[in-house]
Structure 1
Amino acid sequence: MWRKRAGFGAGWNVRKLSTAIRRRIEDEGDWSYASEWWGTESDGRTVLRSTSDKGNGVVSVAAFPASNPSKLHWAATERWLEQRYAEIDESHERHNEKFRVLGYEWRALRFNDDTRQSTVKILAAFRQSEPNSFAFMQQPHCLAVPYLKSMLSAGLATIASCDYNLKTVATGNESMRILCIGHGGGSLPLFLASKIQGAMVDIVEIDPVVISASVQAMGFPAFSVMTPSGKRAFTKPGIMDEVLWKGIHERLFLYESDAEDFILKTPNLYDMIFIDAYDGDDIFPHKLWDPDSPFMKALSSRLHPNHGTVVVNLHSDSDILNPDGSVPSILEQILPMGKYVSQVCRAYKDVVVCNGDSGLGFTVSVPWVCNTSMVVCRGFGINSGYNNKDVILNTLASKSFEVENVLNLPFSCLQYIKRGFILVD
């Protein structure tokens, strides 16, 4: 979930800003496309609308046309779908099955018709032999909202700086345990599972309406849904899950649960924990950052002792940031962060790092929206020189290039790491 920065306009100035850094490969989630989906719900086509009893009010999903990929590329996608279908059709009865792409759309999840919770891009396609066999596939490589790129960039560069071998898990030679608290449309866990072949991603979402919206209207893999007993809701994936996801869906585990209940019961030890858990009233629950809460105490015990890394999305206390998202130099000295963000950061650092010699915490501001990414880790501080802000930032910057190359990211991590970088005391 994110807040719009004051003075935002989805016109030419945004495109100019977002294309200032040229990409090695095209980023379909570049902020220059925000004008296609930023409008009000009335500007789009409502595809789902339901009322939550978990504090999120009216949950809705609106659809907006996506300009990219253009129709010129649809034929290649159809051939890919046909090839995938032929690979898994064991009966070979329909090895000549033809697929047709209907198009690509943005799908925006909202709470109470106002708060934008998540935005994803989906592919819509069907089999010619069954014209009603519509399939929606969320595009796993597309992160439309800047704060997600900020969380990923800062978090992955940090764990890579803790002597964690990201390459071995990216290739699937070793496993990586990740927990995502707060699901939304599911773009963050889906991106992680698609880019890191060894990633086993647990997702915790308290609201069944949000889970249904992500699966039914936002193209998240249905096979990921878990039952309260810890088993799959579906005993085996459907044929289209197999076609579309090529095993990614088998490494996603989506639980309907309160975050505190889940963390108290899970036996898993996590390498990374991502937290993005604002409700329909735009509130980050106090129990998720109260240092004395059962949640925080359990979180500490469920985090890897040597390199465990926690990344939290926070709404900035105010909009007093430069147009490029950085903290004004004068404010960086006298007002490094607002009272609320400061309290949350201190709570997480105290719980995760405790009084250990290693570990650190920092925040970065997110461009174009009023969010802050907070990162707290263990294992980053064995060398006393790491207490120096410049040394830490240079280390993260160096590792950010490694992250980009290993995961073949469509965006630059560095711009999200250096923006308004502040160490948590």
Structure 2
Amino acid sequence: MTSHVNMKTQHHRSSSEFKRMKFTGQGQRSGFSKGVVVDIVEIDPLVISASTQAMGFPRLSVMTPLGDRVHSKPDLIDEVFWKGIHERLFLHESDAEKFILDTTRIYDMVFVDAYDGEDIFPRKLWDPESPFLHALEKRLHPEHGAVVVNLHADSGILGGDGSAPSVLDGILPMGKYVSRVCRAYKNVLAGKSSGIAFTVSAPWVCNASLVVSRGFRRHNGIPDRDMVLNRLISKSLELDTMMNLPFSCLQYIKRGFILVD
């Protein structure tokens, strides 16, 4: 959830103004705000089947390869529980790279959560020379587009019981693999003068959220950690109220914030 909060803070726009969002990996299910149109890309048909048949995800959202809805009318239970949101969800069975290469849409926000069953983030989704990142660079809104990537820790920090040591309550160290992913996304997507990238840690689940945001004005062309952090903090309470969040995003922003070089 930290990813969603940070992304929307950076937009400086109300939730009703967002044009389109893209989720890669169906694990992301929250953050469907008022007015948001969401494309969800999932490569595994079993995940799609389980989510719509057993986990309450709306069946109306499932799309055909030609871009039509599989089901022409929503179920009554979808109308009751999703209250119109299901009409703005489009669930595509596709490889993420193929989808972003084929689409012509411009996205305000893109969420990437693409680890496979062996906890591997496919190289083609983070290699700086990959068609995926370069296509994503063109499909992201040039003025305020933002990308959030869910990252799993790769630094071997867990104790014998599988928990993170208390000394890491405020920060989650990044190993070489995660650091390379962060730099690749920043270098390709952030731009030379108007973009920044940062991570926020969730050590208790050994995850970090990478945020790459365009349109963030820099002081003298150089991003300053304190300036970025203070700007995020100043917007957190406003965002809590606007999104009616059940928790404060401030605790996530203040914990383990790292500006990506």
TM-score of the pair, normalised by structure 1: 0.57
Q: CA contact under 8 A between 1:278 and 1:284: conserved in structure 2?
A: yes
Q: Which has the larger radius of gyration?
A: 1
1:251 equivalenced with 2:88 (yes/no): yes
Which consecutive unaligned segments of at least 5 residues does structure 1 have? 1-148, 329-335
Partner of 2:31: 192
Q: 1 CA distance for matches of 2:232 and 2:18?
A: 23
Q: 2 CA distance for matches of 1:378 and 1:340?
A: 24
Task: Give the alignment partner of residue 183 of structure 1, picking from 14, 23, 26.
Answer: 26
After superposition, the C-alpha distances for 1:7-26 in whole angstroms (9 at most, x for unaligned) are xxxxxxxxxxxxxxxxxxxx
Q: CA contact under 8 A between 1:223 and 1:237: conserved in structure 2?
A: yes
Give the 3-state SS of the residue equivalent to 1:192 in structure 2: coil
Q: 2 CA distance for matches of 1:319 and 1:402?
A: 37
Q: 2 CA distance for matches of 1:325 and 1:180?
A: 29
1:409 equivalenced with 2:252 (yes/no): no
* Residue 386 of structure 1, CA deviation: 6.6
Partner of 2:204: 368
Q: 1 CA distance for matches of 2:119 and 2:18?
A: 34
Partner of 1:419: 255
Task: Give the alignment partner of residue 398 of structure 1, picking from 231, 234, 253.
Answer: 234
Q: Within 5 A, what are the aligned runs for 1:26-425?
A: 149-159=1-11, 164-166=12-14, 170=15, 172=16, 174-184=17-27, 188-189=28-29, 191-193=30-32, 196-320=33-157, 322-323=165-166, 325-327=169-171, 337-355=174-192, 357-384=193-220, 387-425=223-261
* Residue 365 of structure 1, CA deviation: 1.0
Give the 3-state SS of the residue equivalent to 2:73 in structure 1: coil
Q: 2 CA distance for matches of 1:409 and 1:217?
A: 26
* Residue 415 of structure 1, CA deviation: 1.1
Q: 1:360 to 1:263 in 2, by over 3 A?
A: same
Q: CA RMSD in A?
A: 1.7
Give the 3-state SS of the residue equivalent to 2:6 in structure 1: helix
Q: CA contact under 8 A between 2:60 and 2:87: conserved in structure 1?
A: yes
Identity %: 59
Higher strand share: 1
Q: CA contact under 8 A between 1:360 and 1:378: conserved in structure 2?
A: yes
Q: 2 CA distance for matches of 1:156 and 1:284?
A: 24
Q: 2 CA distance for matches of 1:367 and 1:176?
A: 32
Q: 1:230 to 1:303 in 2, by over 3 A?
A: same
Q: Which residue identity does 2:258 align to in structure 1? A: I
Q: CA contact under 8 A between 2:186 and 2:197: conserved in structure 1?
A: yes
How many residues end up aligned between the 2 structures? 254
Q: 2 CA distance for matches of 1:398 and 1:271?
A: 22
Partner of 2:160: none
Q: CA contact under 8 A between 1:200 and 1:251: conserved in structure 2?
A: yes
Of structures 1 and 2, the one with the larger relative CO (CA 8 A, separation 6+) is 2
Q: 2 CA distance for matches of 1:243 and 1:362?
A: 38
Q: 2 CA distance for matches of 1:242 and 1:411?
A: 26
After superposition, the C-alpha distances for 1:37-72 in whole angstroms (9 at most, x for unaligned) are xxxxxxxxxxxxxxxxxxxxxxxxxxxxxxxxxxxx
Q: 2 CA distance for matches of 1:395 and 1:307?
A: 15
* Residue 246 of structure 1, CA deviation: 1.8
Q: 1 CA distance for matches of 2:139 and 2:73?
A: 29
Q: 1 CA distance for matches of 2:226 and 2:116?
A: 36
Give the 3-state SS of the residue equivalent to 1:312 in structure 2: strand
TM-score of the pair, normalised by structure 2: 0.92
Give the 3-state SS of the residue equivalent to 1:296 in structure 2: helix
Q: 2 CA distance for matches of 1:306 and 1:175?
A: 13
Give the 3-state SS of the residue equivalent to 1:375 in structure 2: strand
Q: 1 CA distance for matches of 2:3 and 2:169?
A: 15
Partner of 1:331: none
Q: 1 CA distance for matches of 2:18 and 2:259?
A: 30
Q: CA contact under 8 A between 1:150 and 1:373: conserved in structure 2?
A: yes
Q: 1 CA distance for matches of 2:252 and 2:184?
A: 23
Q: Which residue identity does 1:404 align to in structure 2? A: D
Q: CA contact under 8 A between 1:386 and 1:392: conserved in structure 2?
A: no
